[in-house]
Amino acid sequence: SLSDRLTATFKNLRGKGRLTEADIDGTAREIRRALLDADVAVPVVREFIARVKARSLGSEVSEALNPGQQVVKIVNEELVGILGGQTRELQFAKHPPTIIMLAGLQGAGKTTLAGKLAYRLKNQGHTPMLVACDLQRPNAVNQLQVGGGRAGVPVYAPHPGVSSEAETPTGDPVQVARAGVAEAREKLHDVVIIDTAGRLGVDTELMQQAADIKSAVGAHEVLFVIDAMIGQDAVTTAQSFNEGVDFTGVVLSKLDGDARGGAALSVASVTGKPVMYASTGEGLKDFEVFHPDRMARRILDMGDVLSLIEQAEASWDKAEAAKMAQKFADQEDFTLEDFLAQMQQLKKMGSMKKMLGMMPGAQGMRQQLEQFDESSIGRVEAIIYSMTPHERVAPKIMNGSRRARIAKGSGVHVSEVNQLLERFAQAQKMMKKMAGGGMPQMPGGGAM
C-alpha cells in the first residue's frame, strides 16, 4: 500500500537539518499518485504538488517526524487549507427570507439535496419553503413535491395540478421563482430553497436561466451541487458554473459511493469557493456538514500514515514534556539561562496547551499560558543575550549601570530589563518552592 511504501522510503531519517529535494521527490511522487487515484483533476494535481514542493523545500526537519512523514503532513495541511480550512455554514439574510438557490448538472443531486436541506433547516427551527423551478424534465416538480412531503416542508410549484409523470410542466422558471419567493414572503417563511433545472452538459441557455433566476430573486446563497463521481470533469464544470452563476458554496453529492472525493479538491482549488455540505445517500438524513480535515484524509487515503504522524508528534511532545517536567523538578540553581531555555522550549513546542495537557497536574497553568505572548520571547531573548555569561548565572550582580548597558545592547528600555529581572526573580522563587513539591507556575507567564 501507499502507506507501506512511504514508511519504507523514509526509515529513521529524522532531525537531520532541512528537507532536501530528494526527501521531497519520493514522497511527492506517491502523493501525486494518491491524488490522481482520488480523481483530482490533472492540472490541479500539478499545481498542488508544485506548491507543496516549494513549501517543503528547505523547511526544517522535525525532530518528531521523518522527512517523508513531514512532507505528508505539509500535504495534509495544504489540502485542508484549499478545502476551506474551517467548515462554513449557511449565512442567513438580515431580512428574511434567506433565498438559497441550487445549481448544477442534471443528475448531480439538486432535487434530492433540496429535500435534505429543507429537512435540516426545519429541524434547526427554520420555516423553509421549497420552490420548483425545474420545468425542463417530466416529473421534476413531482419529485420535489415528494421530497418536500417527506421533509414536511411546503413546496411551491407552478401548476398545482401537475401530477402525471408523463406531463411536462410548462412556464417560465424565472417567473415561478419570483412568484415562489413572493409567496414565501407573504406566508412568513424564513428560508426559500429554489430547485433549478440541469442539463447533461454545461450549456449557455441553461446557465443563462440559472443566472436569470439568481438575479430575479436576489439569491443570498447559490449552492453548486456536484456529483463526487464526476472525476476529471469537475474542473470544467465547476469553472463554467462559477463564471455563469458565481455560486457561493459547493455541495458534494454521492459521497456514499466509491469516489475518494477528488472532485472536492478540484472544485475548491479552481474556484476558491468553500465546500459546505456533503450528500451521502438518497435518504433525507444522508447529509452532513463538510469537514475539510476528514476529506483530506479521504483524498489522501493515508489514514494510517496520518495517524502515525499524529502519534509520532504526540509521543515526541510527551517525551519533551517529561524532560521539561524533570528539569523543573531538578531545579536548584535556576539561572537566567535556564529561564531563557525554558521559554525557548515553550516556543519550540508550538502547541503549549497540548503539552501542558500531558504534564500531570498542570491544568492550573492553563490560564497563565493563555496570556503567554510568544512574540515577547524575542524581546526576552534579546535582553538575556545582551548579558554576559556571568550576569546570566549570577543576576544578583545586576546593578544600574549593567542594566543600562543591557538595555542599550538589546534595544529596549531599562524598565523592560527591570521587569524581566523581576519576573525572573519570581520564577526563581517558584522553582525553589516547586523543588520542595507542588507544581510550578509558568516562568515566562504574563505579557511583557
Q: Which residues bind Mg ion (CB under 5 A)?
A: 110-111, 134
Nearer Cβ to Mg ion (142/271): 142
110 is in an annotated binding site: yes
Q: Could you tell me which residues come within 8 angstroms of residue 231 by beta carbon, excluding any fewer than 6 positions away?
A: 39, 259, 262, 263
Report which residue's Cβ sits closest to Mg ion.
111
Least distance between ligand GDP and beta carbon 96 (Å): 25
Nearer Cβ to Mg ion (111/266): 111
> What distances in angstroms separate CA 151 from CA 114, 124, 277, 405, 427, one per listed residue?
10, 13, 18, 75, 62
User: Which residues form the interface with ligand GDP (CB under 6 A)?
Assistant: 104, 106-112, 198, 225, 253-254, 256, 279-282, 286
Instruction: Please choose which of ligand GDP, Mg ion, none residue 280 contacts, taking the beta carbon within 5 to 8 angstroms, the exact cut-off set by kind.
Output: ligand GDP
Q: Are 253 and 224 in contact (CB under 8 A)?
A: no
168 is in an annotated binding site: no
Residues shown for the chain: 448
Class of residue 447 by CB neighbours under 10 A (exposed 0-12, middle 13-18, buried 19+)? exposed
58 is in an annotated binding site: no
Nearer Cβ to ligand GDP (52/238): 238
Cell 463564471 identifies what position? 243
Dump strand ranges (E) for 270-356. Answer: 275-279, 287-289
> What distances in angstroms separate CA 255 from CA 108, 128, 195, 215, 277, one per listed residue?
12, 25, 21, 31, 10
Least distance between ligand GDP and beta carbon 123 (Å): 18
Instruction: Please choose which of ligand GDP, Mg ion, none residue 104 contacts, taking the beta carbon within 5 to 8 angstroms, the exact cut-off set by kind.
Output: ligand GDP
Least distance between ligand GDP and beta carbon 377 (Å): 49
Nearer Cβ to Mg ion (134/338): 134
84 is in an annotated binding site: no
Nearer Cβ to ligand GDP (198/262): 198
User: Dihedral sign, CA of 432, 438, 439, 445?
Assistant: negative
Instruction: Please choose which of Mg ion, ligand GDP, none residue 106 contacts, taking the beta carbon within 5 to 8 angstroms, the exact cut-off set by kind.
Output: ligand GDP
Q: CA dihedral defined by 45, 103, 148, 92, rounded to 10 degrees?
A: 90
255 is in an annotated binding site: yes
Instruction: Please choose which of Mg ion, ligand GDP, none residue 260 contacts, taking the beta carbon within 5 to 8 angstroms, the exact cut-off set by kind.
Output: none
Q: Are 395 and 429 in contact (CB under 8 A)?
A: no
Binding positions are: 104-111, 195-199, 253-256
Binding positions for GTP are: 104-111, 195-199, 253-256
